[in-house]
């Protein structure tokens, strides 16, 4: 059977790919487009490791089919830094050592950026709720929350 | 080890890949025709937060996936007869961000806000929450308490039904083959009305209701409750509308004795399972507690408008 032909935008670039109906957006990003920064954790939408934005909305790429990306604008971790210049969130994650094994980190960063776009001055509680869909089994979250709050301060120019 | 397991997992899925057709019709007629013409296993795709997982685990192996998100009626939110009609495939977040609807039906919105994570709510639809027919679905008791109705199309034409008639047991609905839930109608609210949905979970986020309770009530000018609906989730094989609990509120000022009678009636109606998330005894007791708290919140909201 013919595969589905899909045109979309990924990190600002027009892309075209062929996919089987049952391939998720995560499968397509990693296996077809070779953008392996987005991680698979649980594969069931519980852990948030595969978080990307689709038309500006934070989603689990494991819960969306590749074929549904037709005409959509997708942003992944590969598009977060501006060339060699890291995004403030990326820098603050490094400064605060807000990661250990790193598997949750791309999803955390995408979710944190999405949170700060909606709410540039979140409380600690708002950060914790904003990242509630992203599980980290290493850090205990404290350093992640501190890094996000610090990045928010810097991005506001405070 | 972690990556090895992931790799083996994806190989297994790869081997099973059979031919699965994807269609995204632009009209309800086309969707109904596709479902009616599918001789094999067809599945509807809305937000996909249940269906994609079921496909990947091998629990379902559809031959045809019909994505309904390109159909205007499935995705619209509009005022209708003083109430609101919203498409069954509208994402939870789109519903939550609709200010007028959220102001009129805060309990319904609270229930949608409890579903999964932000990532899940960006995709998951209320129609999917209903048709997946989990007894613990959060939006279903709130919609039943609200008196919401669904509009359905199928091979035999259109019909509509109260939400409580759709789920019939875990994973089972009263929908006939090829029928699609198109939209929900939330009725017009009289003055001094309020609704609330609360659930008990061990965690505050990303959890499944051990007990859920939706209450919707209307007061008269003197503060007497004139209309009420109470619906419980996760305490039976489907969401339970409990008229006896509502009757305890109607005619009262929703004071302590009325709330005691209401809570007792709610607990008495439960026929829950006993599992690792909650024992039978615990669910029965907590159903009364959650119904009481939901009624108190609904009362506060009713007094505020």
Cα angle B193, B81, B143; round to 5: 50
Contact check, Cβ <8 Å, A111/B123: no
Q: Angle between the B280-303 and B256-269 helix axes, to the nearest 10 degrees?
A: 140
- Angle at Cα B97 formed by Cα A134 and Cα A121, nearest 5°? 55
For B243-297, how does the pLDDT look when each residue is reduced to its tens digit (9 = 90+)?
999 999 999 999 999 999 999 999 999 999 999 989 999 999 999 999 999 999 9
Q: Which residues of A fall within a CB distance of 8 Å from B38?
A: none
Q: Using alpha carbons only, give the angle B86, B87, B88 rounded to the nearest 5 degrees.
A: 115
B residues 214-273 closer than 8 Å to A (CB): none
- Using CA atoms, how far residue B152 sits from B8, B108, B182, B277, in Å, is 41, 20, 5, 34
Measure in Å the smallest separation between the Cα of A125 and chain B Cα atoms.
12
Q: How many CA atoms lie within 13 A of B131 on its CB side?
A: 28
CATH entry, A88-156, from 3.20.20.100, 3.40.50.1580, 3.30.470.10, 1.10.150.120: 1.10.150.120
Dist CA A151 CA B3 (whole Å): 31
Local structure of A104: helix, strand or coil: coil
Determine the Cα–Cα distance for residues A55 and A98; give it in Å rounded to an integer.
28
Domains and CATH numbers, chain B: 18-67 (3.30.43.10), 72-186 (3.30.465.10), 193-303 (3.30.390.50)
Q: How far is A11 from chain B (nearest CA, A)?
A: 19
The answer to whether the beta carbons of residues A10 and A74 sit under 8 Å apart is yes
Sheet holding B157-162, edge to edge: B77-80, B83-87, B180-186, B149-154, B157-162
The rounded distance, in Å, linking the Cα atoms of B265 and B173 is 26
> Residue B164 carries which DSSP code?
G
Interface of B with A in 43-102 (CB under 8 A): 45, 47-49, 52-53, 55-56, 65, 67, 69, 93
Query: Of B13, B53, B55, which is closest to A45 when you measure between CB atoms?
Result: B53
Task: Provide the mean pLDDT of chain B.
Answer: 93
Tokens, residue B168 = 């019939």
Q: Which residue has the tokens 């099973």?
A: B16
pLDDT at B17 over 60: no
What is the reported pLDDT for B19? Answer: 84
Helix (H) or strand (E) holding A147: helix A142-156
pLDDT of residue A2: 74
Crossing angle for the helix pair B106-113 and B139-146, nearest 10 degrees? Answer: 170
DSSP string, B223-274: S-EEEEEEEEESSSSS-EE-HHHHHHHTTS-S-HHHHHHHHHHHHHH-----
Question: What residues in chain A have their Cβ under 8 A from chain B's Cβ atoms?
Answer: 1, 4, 20-22, 24, 27, 40, 43-46, 48, 51, 54, 57-60, 62-65, 67-68, 70, 103, 111, 114, 129-130, 132-134
> Does residue B5 register a pLDDT over 80?
no
Q: What are residue B85's DSSP bridge partners? A: B78, B185
Q: Which of B8, B41, B61, B117 to mutate to test the interface with A (most CBs of A within 10 A)?
A: B117
For residue range B38-73, list pLDDT tens digits in order. 877 899 999 999 999 999 999 999 999 999 999 999
pLDDT tens for B67-111 read: 999 999 999 999 999 999 999 999 999 999 999 999 999 999 999
Model confidence at B18, pLDDT cuts 50, 70, 90, reads low
- Summarised one tens digit per residue, pLDDT across range B136-194 is 999 999 999 999 999 999 999 999 999 999 999 999 999 999 999 999 999 999 999 99
Q: How many CB atoms lie within 10 A of CB B41?
A: 12
* Gap between the Cα atoms of B11 and A80, Å rounded: 30
Domain ranges of chain A: 4-79, 88-156
DSSP 3-state of B48: coil
pLDDT at residue B7 is higher than 80: no
Interface confidence, given as ipTM, is: 0.95
Task: Please report which confidence band the pLDDT of residue B206 belongs to, taking 50, 70 and 90 as the band edges.
Answer: confident
Q: Residue B13 pLDDT more than 50?
A: no
Is residue B3 over pLDDT 50? Answer: no
State how far the Cα of B232 lies from the Cα of B238, in Å rounded to an integer: 9
pLDDT of residue A1: 58
Instruction: Check if the beta carbon of residue B108 is closer than 8 Å to that of residue B143.
Output: yes
> Which residues in chain A show pLDDT less than 50?
none
B10 interfaces chain A, CB cutoff of 8 Å: yes
Confidence band, pLDDT 50/70/90 cuts, at residue B9: very low
Q: Which fold has domain A4-79?
A: Ubiquitin-like (UB roll) (3.10.20)
């Amino acid at each position: 059977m013919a595969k589905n032909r899909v045109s979309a935008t990924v990190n600002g670039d027009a892309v075209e790919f062929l996919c089987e109906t049952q391939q998720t957006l995560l499968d397509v990003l990693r296996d077809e487009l070779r953008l392996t920064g987005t991680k698979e954790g649980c594969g069931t939408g519980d852990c948030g490791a595969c978080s990307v934005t689709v038309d500006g909305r934070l989603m689990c790429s494991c819960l969306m089919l590749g074929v549904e990306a037709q005409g959509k604008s997708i942003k992944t971790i590969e598009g977060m830094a501006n060339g060699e210049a890291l995004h403030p969130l990326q820098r603050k994650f490094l400064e605060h050592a807000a990661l250990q094994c790193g598997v949750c980190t791309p999803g955390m960063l995408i979710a944190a950026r999405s949170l700060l776009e909606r709410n540039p001055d979140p409380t600690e509680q708002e950060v914790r709720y904003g990242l509630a869909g992203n599980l980290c089994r290493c850090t205990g979250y404290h350093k992640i929350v501190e890094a996000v709050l610090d990045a928010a301060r810097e991005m506001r120019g405070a | 080890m972690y990556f090895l397991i992931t790799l083996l997992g994806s190989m297994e899925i790869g081997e099973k890949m059979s031919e699965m057709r994807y269609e995204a019709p632009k009209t309800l007629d086309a969707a109904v025709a596709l479902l009616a013409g599918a001789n094999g296993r067809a599945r509807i795709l809305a937000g996909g937060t249940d269906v994609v997982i079921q496909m990947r685990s091998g629990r379902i192996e559809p031959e045809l996936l019909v994505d309904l998100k390109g159909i205007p009626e499935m995705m619209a939110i509009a005022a209708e007869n003083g109430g609101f009609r919203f498409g069954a495939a509208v994402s939870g977040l789109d519903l939550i961000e609709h200010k007028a609807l959220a102001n009129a039906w805060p309990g319904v919105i609270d229930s949608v806000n409890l579903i999964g994570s932000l990532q899940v709510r960006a995709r998951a639809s209320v129609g999917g929450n209903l048709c997946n027919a989990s007894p613990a679905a959060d939006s279903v008791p709130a919609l039943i308490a609200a008196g919401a109705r669904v509009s359905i199309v199928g091979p035999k034409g259109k019909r509509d039904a109260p939400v409580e008639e759709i789920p019939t047991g875990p994973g089972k609905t009263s929908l006939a083959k090829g029928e699609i839930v198109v939209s929900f109608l939330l009725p017009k609210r009289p003055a001094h009305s309020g609704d609330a949905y609360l659930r008990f979970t061990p965690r505050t986020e990303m959890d499944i209701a051990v007990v859920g309770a939706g209450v919707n009530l209307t007061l008269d000018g003197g503060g007497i409750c004139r209309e009420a609906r109470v619906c419980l989730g996760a305490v039976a094989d489907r969401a339970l509308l409990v008229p006896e609990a509502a009757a305890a509120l109607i005619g009262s000022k929703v004071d302590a004795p009325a709330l005691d009678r209401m809570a007792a009636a709610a607990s008495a109606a439960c026929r829950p399972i006993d599992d690792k998330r909650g024992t039978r005894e615990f669910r029965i007791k907590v159903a009364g507690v959650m119904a009481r708290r939901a009624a108190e919140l609904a009362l506060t909201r009713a007094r505020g408008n």
